[in-house]
A and B are shown apart, each in its own frame.
Chain A
Amino acid sequence: MGSKVLILGMFLLFLGCENDDAQTVARFTTLVWEDNFDVDGAPDPNRWGFDLGDGTEQGIPGWGNDELQYYTDRPENVTVQNGFLLITVRQEDFNGAEFTSARLTTQGLFERAYGRFEARIRVPFGQGYWPAFWLLGNNCDENPWPACGEIDIMENVGDEPTIVFGSVHGPGYSGGDSIGKDYELTDDRFDTGFHVFGIEWSPEFINYYVDGDLYQSITPEDIDEETDGEGQWIFDRPFYIILNVAVGGNLPGPPNDETVFPQTMLVDYVRVYEQ
């Protein structure tokens, strides 16, 4: 892995020089699906459905991570306004949970293998927030996670406002052993303005980018090397899109006294392109 990163790094450096700092981060340009959130009100039901509750009904209380929120589809937690999707996290007693939020998915509405998946997002901030833009394999019902696969395009924990991470989960490389990388802004933050998060996914690679920076490429060979041959590339079937903000849980830890509620994740658009 080390040598590959180095080679990639040199390659990027080259591109940077050639193109006057304008890196080519994506090549798939044929738009196949998008939501620009142009109509105020509830999200378009032809594009988005909801995962509701605290995961108990799905058999994974706390959504498998001891998360603290209860997902609803109430306008208090999810709405479209002025061209943006708003997912708002509130601190309130609700069905036994201390926080409410929302989780939108395109499951059963839009699922596909390969392509360029991109969204423009502003995240909340503060200890305990865990916003994400990610994909899940569409056969998790028959082939339980992690075997069905997960591609995390953007995750952030609220106490690290300058860092996002992109990763993949599959059999032999899931949870804390997922394969991925951090991307850090050195002179900006992810909670004070919008940033573009995307992947370009083909049978040979998943490339991750933030704004104009390609920062990671994960290939079947990487998975093989990282897992000593145990892991399997399972990213050759349709996946669906998820947008959510979790609170607490194993990754970010619980909110503290200084965490500000309510807060909102803003999504300007979600777009999918093919080659």
Chain B
Amino acid sequence: MKNLIYINVRRVLFLSLGITFFYSCERDLSEDVQFATFPVNGDIFTDNPVGLTDQFFDSFDPATGANPEGFDRDDEVAFEGSASIRIDVPAPDDPDGGFIGGIFLDRGDGRDLTGFDALTFYVKGSTTATIGEVGFGTDFGENKFAVTANNIRLSTDWRKIIIPIPDPSKLVQERGMFFFSAGTQSTNGFGFTFWIDELRFERLGTIGQSRPSILGGNDSRFPTTVGESLTIGQLQQTFNLGSGINQTVIPAPSYFDFKSSDPNVAFVNELGEVTVINTGTTEITASIAGVLAAGRISVESSETAQIISIFSDLFADIPVDNFNGFFLPDGQTTLGGVIEEDGNNIIDYTMLNFVAIEFYGRDNSGIPPVDATEMTLLNLEIRVNENIDSGDFINIQLQNAVGAPNASIGTFQIPGSSLIANEWVEFQIPLTSFSGLAARNAIGQLFFVSDGTISNISVDNIFFSAE
């Protein structure tokens, strides 16, 4: 279907080229024919908005909790000239909305930003809070070339912020001039004010060393079957600024050139969406402006491959009861659960002696256990967040038919020597290696047991697979 549409588009293009050509001949316009270009002005706000829409600030929808009232021009405060933008970040319980954010849009059809390499501005805060997100390219439309930088640290004096453009050659017609979103996460709910001045796109020349990454920079596997799909995520790009400081941005997928080493197995579109169309193996990589991104994924498509994912970045996860059963009466000390780390969800446990992820319908939740009869492997990644001593271990346990008379528990021991302190280690454990597991038609608990030999671990990408 997709192919057909594509062919049609090409035909239309071919036809229209022909028309243009004829038109040019007849009316003798060839010498004047130029590609449409858009204004190259980089200024966004100096003492006044420059070339922006009349409303200047387009707030996020107040229905989402955005506060449209806290935005104004301030004639008393300026880094340069006579005025700045003043943004009052509301407390979470403010009746007008608990955070502030929105965009500035070019009032015309967009600007040609290909000659610039960064969005820059001066900012100062009433306190040393952080602004959650700033960026550009968000136009409340396609947001095709959106760029975000997180956690901009404010000083109580003016400071210049530099947000590099991932690949300026893409920005031939951009309307999204500025984007920000700020709440009081960094100030314990106390509102604060920050000012922005001299907001513009610039060509600095001092930004270098582009280092894009996908999938957190990791090399991953995606065992799958025909018809499945996945979206390449965790897109980042780190630049080194002229000051020597690294600045990381989150570029929209359209800045990346995604590539499949064998498009006959799976193809990938400009949004990083991978569609598996045949059996075989293909490697998905990406680059920005010719710089290969760290991280890749091997798509391994077979007739029989099946996945049941408990907690992973790539697959649709099954519903679970919890990621920490808190068996306190049984002497569990383990704390923790799902947390976000570098934009990626992981499970983090501290004070580990034992802990379980549960998915059997605890407290009549209705969540079904996993029928893993057809599965052959348990896949998971473990990072020990402390030094590993001799005698340390983690027992992985699966319980089938939780709470039933025929319940059985199988154990697989990972010795400390197979783990690496502060580094992710990937395991693929044959389900036949779980000694004691009498059946696997209704697996409902996955335990991590260290008996206190290892106290702090993170786990991620837990799934059953059959190959």
Contact = CB atoms under 8 A, between A and B. Distances in A.
A125 B205 contact: no
Give the size range of A's interface with the partner: 10 to 19
A186 B204 CA distance: 8
A161 B205 contact: no
Interface stretch (A28-36, A46-54, A70-78, A187-195): A187-195
B205 A126 contact: no
Contacts of A162: 206, 242
Which secondary structure characterizes the binding site on chain B?
Answer: loop
Interface in A42-66: none
A187 B118 CA distance: 13
Given A187-B204, A187-B206, A188-B206, A126 B242 contact: no
Interface string A241-275: 00000000000000000101000000000000000
Interface in A153-208: 158-162, 185-189, 191-192
B244 A192 contact: no
B240 interface: yes
Contacts of B205: 185-189
A258 B242 CA distance: 15
A244 B300 CA distance: 46
Contacts of B246: 258
A189 B208 CA distance: 8
A159 B244 contact: yes
B206 A191 contact: no
A158 B206 contact: no
A161 B204 contact: no
Contacts of A192: 208-209
A75 B131 CA distance: 48
A138 interface: no
Contacts of B203: 187
Interface in B265-282: none
B72 to A, nearest CB: 34
A125 B209 contact: yes
A196 B209 CA distance: 20
A191 B205 CA distance: 12
A125 B206 contact: no
Interface string B205-226: 1101101000000000000000
Contacts of B208: 125, 161, 189, 191-192
B71 to A, nearest CB: 33
A161 B240 CA distance: 9
A105 interface: no
User: Counting chain B CB atoms within 10 Å of each CB, which of A158, A189, A192, A258 scores highest?
Assistant: A189
Contacts of A127: 244
A219 B237 CA distance: 47
A160 B242 CA distance: 7
A192 B239 CA distance: 12
Nearest to A192: B208
Nearest to A124: B209
Contacts of B211: 260
A211 B209 CA distance: 21
Given A159-B244, A187-B205, 15 more contacts: A125-B240, A126-B240, A127-B244, A158-B244, A160-B244, A161-B206, A161-B240, A186-B205, A187-B204, A189-B208, A189-B242, A191-B240, A192-B208, A192-B209, A258-B246
8 contacts: A127-B244, A158-B244, A161-B206, A186-B205, A187-B204, A187-B205, A189-B206, A192-B209
